């Protein structure tokens, strides 16, 4: 077994604290990864605080993981020691259902094995995430990080990046398409960068104009404040595709009115409560309301390669592991531009608390 250092929530709503646990020794197709950096996703906060229900403890969060391969199993063919790699939101799936066979493992009918806050395929071993010194993952669920991308800023691509890339590709964002991104946060800023690189005309819809300069710097062609009611009149019937990254309560019907005929609004931010949608918002204009969840392994690799080609990474603020609880509060307060990334080298320091 591999002794591993990490930070964990011992129970719901507890502050994260030092935690020592064991990873399995590598099996034939396993890759052992020394974790270098791990992004902080808002879903980490939700799950560590059991805000969605069903959380299991102790919990080591983190599913935006990048690092270096330190050991491989006897049967590994895809990676070697020294490779720069990443691990995203899941580390296994059934591999046999129709969706796994299509490379859509995120929709596995038997359920994915989440990188953390779940159980491995044996049904008893807790999966633990990337706020840790190492992780052991089957090679088929490991991604290759392009050499051109800095590891720290590439970490959020493993969740925030693919969460936006997948719907942009699926709904064919590109030249001649008008795309709106609701919210300019950890997810939204990646949507702006990716849609711009794909050649779409990109608009940011944000509560205020406070981040307008950032939006334009990231690649937005237009920026509007949704607190201004005139915005919804001016932009009615404008967009082919709207991606909603916001999990706060909002009137989805108003945003559906901004779609063209046959336009689609895709939800990737998950509100805590149910959101009412009126039939007329969809019927008038033959509009669609859809959802999207991360991407499969093949698509995630495609996303990383696309980002390598275009030099796309997340805008980050790097922190030490013992700053994670402060970072959680700042995530909730939207006080980060645009993603916290933990430097896991700080686990080795005396200040980490081990």
Sequence ranges of the domains in the chain: 2-159+314-352, 160-291
Pick the CATH number of 2-159+314-352 from 3.90.180.10, 3.30.700.30, 3.90.1150.10, 3.30.70.100: 3.90.180.10
CA distance 239 to 178: 5
Domain 160-291, CATH: 3.40.50.720
pLDDT at 14 over 80: yes
Q: What is the pLDDT of residues 224-278, one digit of tens each?
A: 999 999 999 999 999 999 999 998 889 999 999 999 999 999 999 988 788 899 9
Express each pLDDT in 23-80 by its tens digit: 999 999 999 999 999 999 999 999 999 988 999 999 999 999 999 999 999 999 999 9
């Amino acid at each position: 077994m591999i002794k591993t250092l990490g930070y964990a929530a011992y129970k719901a709503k507890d502050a994260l604290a030092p935690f020592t646990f064991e990873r399995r020794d590598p099996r034939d197709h396993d890759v052992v990864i020394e974790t270098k950096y791990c992004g902080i996703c808002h879903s980490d906060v939700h799950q560590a605080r059991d805000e969605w229900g069903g959380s299991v403890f102790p919990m080591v969060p983190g599913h935006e993981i990048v690092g270096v391969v330190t050991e491989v199993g006897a049967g590994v063919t895809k990676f070697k020691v020294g490779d720069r790699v990443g691990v995203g939101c899941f580390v296994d799936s059934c591999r046999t259902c129709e969706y796994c066979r299509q490379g859509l493992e995120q929709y596995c009918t038997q359920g994915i094995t989440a990188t953390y806050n779940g159980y491995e395929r044996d049904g008893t071993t807790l999966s633990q995430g990337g706020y840790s010194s190492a992780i052991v993952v089957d090679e088929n669920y490991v991604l290759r990080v392009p050499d051109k991308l800095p590891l720290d800023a590439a970490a959020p691509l493993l969740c925030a990046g693919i969460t936006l890339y997948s719907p942009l590709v699926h709904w064919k964002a590109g030249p001649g398409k008008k795309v709106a991104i609701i919210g300019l946060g950890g997810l939204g800023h990646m949507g702006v960068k990716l849609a711009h690189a794909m050649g779409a005309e990109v608009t940011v819809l944000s509560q205020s104009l406070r981040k307008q300069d950032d939006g334009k710097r990231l690649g937005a062609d237009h920026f509007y404040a949704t607190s201004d009611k005139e915005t919804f009149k001016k932009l009615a019937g404008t967009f082919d595709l709207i991606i909603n990254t916001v999990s706060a309560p909002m009137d989805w019907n108003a945003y559906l009115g901004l779609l063209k005929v046959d336009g689609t609004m895709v939800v990737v931010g998950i509100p805590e409560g149910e959101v009412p949608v009126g039939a007329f918002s969809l019927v008038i204009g033959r509009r669609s309301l859809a959802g999207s969840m991360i991407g499969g392994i093949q698509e995630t690799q495609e996303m990383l390669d696309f980002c390598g080609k275009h030099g796309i990474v997340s805008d980050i603020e790097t922190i030490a592991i013992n700053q994670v609880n402060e970072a959680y509060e700042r995530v909730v307060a939207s006080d980060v531009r645009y993603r916290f990334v933990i430097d896991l080298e700080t686990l080795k320091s005396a200040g980490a608390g081990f």
